């Protein structure tokens, strides 16, 4: 009974369409009754009856259409556990059916590192048909003896992608990253033992990863781009060859050069089973964000990957990086990133490029400037055949500039919705689902922002006490976050200056002590006698 009564709440938005259907039934019945009762009918009366009946019939049809549409929207709102109690916002369900997300768009994300995981974390809130094709390129890197004993394959990116797609992300992350401190397992993470055991059970690496998708209850699936052992090799502009992935940024910085091209060794790496088919069946293919030369381009160089992307009818989207990477993309712009991909893979691999607005607090950019990083330039005129979309994608997390998973995902879903509108599929269940989710996300984000503002106000009131009652200026209200960031930056700069001064003083004292230590005892006595004589003379005067 309680579930039935929820249909009549104002939040359900069902009563209006029920009322419209009721009016339609009344008008249609009135028209029919009038025809049956009347003995003689004039043309004017016939016209009135027909008009009333038509209005009633149209009201019934419209009411049923919008009632079904709203029912589907409620179904979507109520089907995802991931949306329940999200950001402390309760979404009450009228219907419970989790299978609706299986009807979502088929999305493939290609890349590696934190950029790939950011996209996966956001996209899992919109569809279950989500596949991560991950770089596997840590062969030959140094590892501990305990890891060598397990004959572990390079699984860092695969592991992180599984964590990002997990429904209970925090719990899986803690479990996978747990490191043993005692016994023969010392230095091993739980994920190392888990994947090693899964490999023994299933017989090969690919099956162990695919089975993990079911065992760990993740949204979508994770696939390695290749099962062949491969290394990423960089050819620099000065002709120097770097054969270790981790040394590329270091060598580029030391040689004061740049990356000319990236190669795979061996060059004939085969795609893992099912990867090409997954790309061909995709509705949307997302490339990036991530390290351009070590996470993005290497995936596209595996045999058949770039060709499959070009031949796919999917929407092909590139998410541009927000900041440059020292030793890889120094002084790169959006067009430089795109041209690097085109130079390696040819044209037709990207339809849309989504890049950030660049509206980031300057104080955070200064921190990156000290490490040799800067904002990716936004010159988009140097690339033709690609549509550019500027969106707000950035956030500050742990004093680092990152892509916001929700903003990235909503930007991509808006693009898919626009494509469905272009195909005149506004009443398609997929469009209705995505559009409803977008509106729900926006509503939650608004509530979240309001909650944060209220929390900040409460903290300020507690700290300031009676002073908090005084009215603030519009400037301080608008730029309060930036003012706080500036104060923090100034405070850190002051601390650094103090540390430098302290270091200088300690160096001076150490120099003096070392000088004194170098002098012989006789010299020190003579200096002492001279000082005593000078003091006696001064006292006599």
Between 452 and 165, whose confidence is greater?
A: 165
Dihedral over alpha carbons 177, 178, 179, 185 (to 10 degrees): -110
Distance CA 379, CA 390 (A): 12
| Residue among 220, 215, 216, 198 nearest 207 (CA) | 198
- Quick one: pLDDT at residue 84? 45
Asked whether residue 153 carries a pLDDT value surpassing 60, the answer given is: no
- Quick one: pLDDT at residue 498? 77
Bridge partners of 397? Answer: 400
- Quick one: pLDDT at residue 356? 94
- Quick one: pLDDT at residue 149? 46
- Quick one: pLDDT at residue 283? 94
Asked whether residue 288 carries a pLDDT value surpassing 60, the answer given is: yes
116 alpha carbon, distance to own chain's centre:
7
Distance CA 358, CA 339 (A): 20
- Quick one: pLDDT at residue 7? 55
414 by Cβ neighbours in 10 Å (0-12 / 13-18 / 19+) ranks as middle
User: What is the mean predicted confidence (pLDDT) over 87-94?
Assistant: 42
Sorted by sequence, the CB contacts under 8 Å of residue 530 that are 6+ apart come out as none
User: What is the mean predicted confidence (pLDDT) over 137-163?
Assistant: 62
Confidence of residue 381 (pLDDT cuts 50, 70, 90): confident
- Quick one: pLDDT at residue 512? 57
Tokens 């999917």 appear where? 314
| Range from 37-51, 210-224, 276-290, 381-395 carrying the lowest mean pLDDT | 37-51
| Residue among 432, 438, 433, 430 nearest 411 (CA) | 438
User: What is the mean predicted confidence (pLDDT) over 425-446?
Assistant: 80
Asked whether residue 386 carries a pLDDT value surpassing 80, the answer given is: yes
Between 67 and 239, whose confidence is greater?
A: 239
Dihedral over alpha carbons 298, 300, 302, 308 (to 10 degrees): 170
Distance CA 443, CA 88 (A): 13
Asked whether residue 360 carries a pLDDT value surpassing 90, the answer given is: no
- Quick one: pLDDT at residue 359? 82
Q: Are 253 and 275 in contact (CB under 8 A)?
A: no
H/E stretch holding 264: strand 259-265
| Residue among 185, 176, 182 nearest 146 (CA) | 185
Q: How far is CA 284 from CA 171, 210, 526, in A?
A: 30, 21, 87
Asked whether residue 394 carries a pLDDT value surpassing 70, the answer given is: yes
- Quick one: pLDDT at residue 246? 87
Handedness of CA 200, 141, 321, 482 (dihedral sign): positive
- Quick one: pLDDT at residue 305? 96
- Quick one: pLDDT at residue 299? 94
Asked whether residue 48 carries a pLDDT value surpassing 80, the answer given is: yes
Asked whether residue 502 carries a pLDDT value surpassing 80, the answer given is: no
| Range from 208-217, 319-328, 335-344, 404-413 carrying the lowest mean pLDDT | 208-217
User: What is the mean predicted confidence (pLDDT) over 170-176?
Assistant: 88
Most confident range (mean pLDDT) of 132-141, 193-202, 281-290 is: 281-290
Per-chain mean pLDDT for the chain: 80
Bridge partners of 236? Answer: 259
User: What is the mean predicted confidence (pLDDT) over 9-35?
Assistant: 80
Between 463 and 131, whose confidence is greater?
A: 131
Asked whether residue 83 carries a pLDDT value surpassing 70, the answer given is: no
| Range from 75-89, 166-180, 256-270, 507-521 carrying the lowest mean pLDDT | 75-89
Q: Are 378 and 335 in contact (CB under 8 A)?
A: no
- Quick one: pLDDT at residue 410? 93
Asked whether residue 417 carries a pLDDT value surpassing 80, the answer given is: yes
DSSP assignment letter at 376: P
Asked whether residue 10 carries a pLDDT value surpassing 80, the answer given is: no
- Quick one: pLDDT at residue 508? 64
- Quick one: pLDDT at residue 232? 92
Distance CA 71, CA 201 (A): 45
Asked whether residue 145 carries a pLDDT value surpassing 70, the answer given is: no
* pLDDT > 90 fraction of the chain, expressed in percent and rounded: 30
User: What is the mean predicted confidence (pLDDT) over 464-482?
Assistant: 51
| Range from 229-238, 324-333, 521-530 carrying the lowest mean pLDDT | 521-530
User: What is the mean predicted confidence (pLDDT) over 309-334?
Assistant: 94
Phi-psi region of 465 (alpha: psi -120 to 50; beta: other; left: phi over 0): left
- The residue ranges of DSSP E strands in 291-447, in sequence order, are 315-319, 352-356, 387-391, 394-397, 400-403
130-141 per-position pLDDT tens digit: 999 998 765 545
107-122 per-position pLDDT tens digit: 999 998 889 999 999 9
User: What is the mean predicted confidence (pLDDT) over 432-439?
Assistant: 81
- Quick one: pLDDT at residue 354? 96
Between 171 and 472, whose confidence is greater?
A: 171
Strands of the sheet containing 231-236, edge to edge, are 241-242, 231-236, 259-265
| Range from 38-52, 87-101, 182-196 carrying the lowest mean pLDDT | 87-101
- Quick one: pLDDT at residue 329? 94
Distance CA 79, CA 440 (A): 13
- Quick one: pLDDT at residue 85? 45
């Amino acid at each position: 009974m309680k579930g039935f009564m929820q249909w009549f709440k104002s939040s359900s938005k069902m009563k209006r369409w029920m009322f419209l259907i009721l009016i339609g039934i009344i008008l249609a019945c009135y028209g029919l009754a009038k025809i049956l009762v009347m003995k003689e009918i004039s043309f004017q009366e016939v016209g009135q009856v027909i008009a009333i009946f038509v209005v009633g019939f149209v009201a019934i049809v419209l009411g049923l259409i919008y009632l079904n549409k709203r029912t589907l929207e409620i179904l979507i709102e109520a089907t995802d556990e991931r949306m329940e109690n999200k950001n402390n916002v309760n979404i009450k369900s009228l219907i419970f059916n989790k299978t609706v997300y299986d009807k979502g768009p088929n999305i493939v994300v290609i890349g590696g590192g934190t950029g790939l995981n950011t996209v996966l974390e956001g996209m899992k809130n919109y569809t279950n048909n989500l596949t991560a094709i991950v770089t596997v390129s840590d062969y030959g890197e140094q590892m501990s003896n305990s890891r060598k004993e397990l004959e572990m394959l390079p699984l860092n990116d695969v592991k992180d992608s599984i964590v990002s797609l997990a429904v209970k992300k925090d719990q899986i992350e803690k479990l996978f990253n747990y490191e043993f401190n005692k016994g023969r397992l010392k230095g091993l993470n739980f994920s190392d033992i888990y994947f090693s055991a899964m490999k023994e059970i299933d017989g090969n690496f690919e099956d162990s990863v695919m089975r993990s998708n079911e065992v760990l209850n993740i949204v979508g699936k994770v696939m390695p781009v290749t099962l062949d052992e491969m290394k990423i090799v960089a050819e620099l502009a000065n002709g120097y060859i770097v054969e270790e992935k981790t040394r590329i940024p270091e060598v580029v910085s030391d040689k004061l050069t740049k990356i000319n091209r990236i190669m795979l060794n061996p060059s004939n790496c085969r795609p893992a089973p099912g990867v090409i088919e997954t790309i061909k069946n995709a509705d949307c293919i997302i490339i990036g964000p991530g390290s351009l030369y070590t996470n993005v381009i290497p995936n596209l160089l595996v045999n058949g990957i770039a060709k499959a992307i070009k031949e796919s009818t999917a929407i092909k989207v590139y998410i541009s990086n927000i900041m440059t990477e020292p030793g890889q993309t120094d002084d790169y712009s959006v067009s430089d990133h795109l041209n690097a991909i085109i130079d390696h893979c040819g044209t037709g691999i990207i339809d849309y490029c989504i890049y950030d607005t660049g509206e980031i607090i300057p104080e955070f950019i200064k921190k990156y400037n000290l490490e040799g990083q800067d904002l990716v330039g936004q010159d988009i005129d140097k690339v033709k055949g690609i549509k550019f979309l500027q969106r707000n994608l950035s956030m500050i997390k742990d004093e680092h500039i990152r892509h916001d998973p929700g903003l990235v995902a909503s930007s991509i879903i808006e693009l898919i919705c626009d494509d469905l509108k272009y195909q005149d599929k506004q009443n398609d269940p997929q469009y209705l689902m995505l559009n409803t989710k977008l509106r729900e996300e926006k509503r939650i984000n608004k509530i979240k922002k309001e909650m944060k503002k209220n929390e900040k106000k409460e903290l300020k009131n507690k700290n300031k006490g009676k002073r908090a009652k005084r009215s603030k200026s519009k400037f301080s209200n608008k730029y309060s976050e930036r003012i706080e960031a500036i104060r923090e930056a100034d405070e850190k700069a002051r601390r650094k200056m103090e540390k430098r001064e302290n270091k200088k003083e300690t160096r001076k004292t150490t120099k003096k002590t070392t000088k004194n230590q170098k002098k012989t005892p006789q010299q020190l006595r003579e200096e002492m006698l001279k000082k005593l004589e000078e003091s006696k003379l001064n006292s006599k005067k």
